[in-house]
Structure 1
């Protein structure tokens, strides 16, 4: 990381000049009565009594001003200096910084609140940095696999005396890997736009019954390839105001996920219900189910709970589903047990609810 120029603090809350002036003023004020004591005779100023009296108040003033200055330094200047040093460390990339508040939470003052908020900010920045590093590492890993396939099979195509069957197989593998790369790039860009809210919901009144039915028909070939039974139970009228294009991505990813993890001759059920405020869509399958650990990370980028299906996806579909539903004020819940299948339940607000824009 590029080294940054250290900032110089030119003004401190702790000033020795202020301490000296406070001491001088208090000494003079305290000594005046003693200096003028006794029949208003100016010769009394130089009496031994007056000198001891003045010295007494000088000591009192010195102790008082010193204690006040120390308190000010301890409660103001030193904490602010610690905060400045900590902020400089964070600016240089050190997210392990922690500032200990001066008091217990029940007795927090403004400085304690500032320290606590600073610690929270540093923790959030550290998490973002970690997520960024993980994202780059995961993207690199996901690119390596199809690129390695393309390179390997392209070299194999150069072998002499290659049979026609092998040539077709190698070519098909290369095409599949390029399609996987293309899909990965598309999903990474789309997810990035969703997270940065570059994509804004385009609101329109849509027939959810029609949209869900069309998504199922689009995946008819995939369903037939595994001999999966598709049961649909949708109300005849199912309308809401939302972004049709974004919701289509949600249904596509959920259905493909169900098809991928449901074994041959299994069943997938799609149903929906409507209340006065929301529409609830449920997609249930008789697939492999998920462990509690998989469910916790299901919507994380690049997470794939079952490595045996890694070549069929890139771990971004469910992350996009979660991000899209946040944009349109929707919610998603997952119920699943290993060997018992999974149920995804999506709840969407009707037109009366404000959509995030």
Structure 2
């Protein structure tokens, strides 16, 4: 009971008000009674004593109101002071200062409000850091291919340029423009997914056939590295956004191909277990270090800088967001030099 009272500002305020009222009345009545007894020693008749005592009681009431009001004013000021401080701090947050923190410890509602305020400023500060980091990463990713395009375009102005160099430079420019196009497409896709919480389009489709079509789309890449594909796909009918879900397989299989060694094997399996689809994509590539494993779903993070020109670092962030939209899970295991295995679990939806 006492703990519940201490956790409520309303209960504490009520108790303080009752305490102040009792104290004010007690002090006022005691003072006026003592004053009455000091000034009058029984020389008054009963009727005169009643009249004088009535006047004293009126003065006692006024004194009680004045004393109680003064004490209540200071008590309310004490209670409202942290609220005023939170209000002023909120104005500073509105100006963009997310470093501000409130120092007020209590178990009541104001204490909880203060804790939530500090949590809010901490999260806003983290978001601001991520925003600046995102802008920095975007600037870097865009600047690199643009600088490359500019440099080779200037070289093409050389009238004595050989045909071989001309072809090489134009191919580089084409590759860099494709990279820019891929980057902008992924950024737009990820921006849209960040504000999407449910699938926009829902229909039944063959998920195993979708994965096979994705493998065919990437045939040029896995054929170039002479990779063997170990494919084991159960017949699965799934309900969802077909184009959106294909991005999962496209990014994961493309990553497996990218990080696989020449003449390696990529394993692509999918099966139904009770109320979910479990897809497993495994490569025998370079693997991911323990340090990098906690960051692979971050935007623009790339495990191997030597492959940075082959991607934008947004693929896994897109995959994770799509899986979350479908209330699914994505896990992975990886060892350096042994390869990486991604496991996607998608629950069946009505």
Q: Where does the alignment leave 5 or more consecutive residues of structure 2 unmatched?
A: 1-16
Q: Does 119-128 or 335-344 show the bigger shift?
A: 119-128
In structure 2, the residue matched to 1:256 is 254
* Over 4 Å off, 4+ runs: 25-38, 42-46, 60-68
| Within-5 A mapping of 1:170-319 | 170-197=169-196, 200-235=199-234, 237-319=235-317
| Within-5 A mapping of 1:131-142 | 131-142=130-141
Q: Where does the alignment leave 5 or more consecutive residues of structure 1 unmatched?
A: 1-17, 353-357
Question: How many Å separate the matches in 2 of 1:239 and 1:200?
Answer: 17
Question: How many Å separate the matches in 2 of 1:198 and 1:283?
Answer: 25
Kindly state the Cα deviation for residue 102 of structure 1 after the two structures are TM-superposed.
2.6
Question: How many Å separate the matches in 2 of 1:116 and 1:243?
Answer: 41
Question: How many Å separate the matches in 1 of 2:50 and 2:218?
Answer: 112
In structure 2, the residue matched to 1:85 is 88
Which of residues 331, 334, 337 in structure 2 aligns to 1:336? 334
In structure 1, the residue matched to 2:347 is 349
Question: How many Å separate the matches in 1 of 2:81 and 2:349?
Answer: 55
What TM-score comes out, normalization by structure 1 length?
0.81
Between the two proteins, the alignment pairs up a number of residues equal to 318
Question: How many Å separate the matches in 1 of 2:36 and 2:244?
Answer: 87
Which of residues 67, 71, 76 in structure 2 aligns to 1:72? 76
Question: How many Å separate the matches in 2 of 1:197 and 1:275?
Answer: 27
Are 1:193 and 1:199, in contact at CA under 8 Å, matched by a contact in 2? no
Which of residues 87, 94, 98 in structure 1 aligns to 2:97? 94
Q: Per-residue displacement from partner, 1:252-290 (whole Å, max 9, x unpaired)?
A: 000111111111111100011211210100000000000
What TM-score comes out, normalization by structure 2 length?
0.83
Q: Does 1:118 align with 2:117?
A: yes
Kindly state the Cα deviation for residue 191 of structure 1 after the two structures are TM-superposed.
0.6
Question: How many Å separate the matches in 2 of 1:43 and 1:274?
Answer: 95
Q: Secondary structure in 2 aligned to 1:297?
A: coil
- TM-align CA RMSD: 2.9
Question: How many Å separate the matches in 2 of 1:218 and 1:113?
Answer: 55
In structure 2, the residue matched to 1:128 is 127
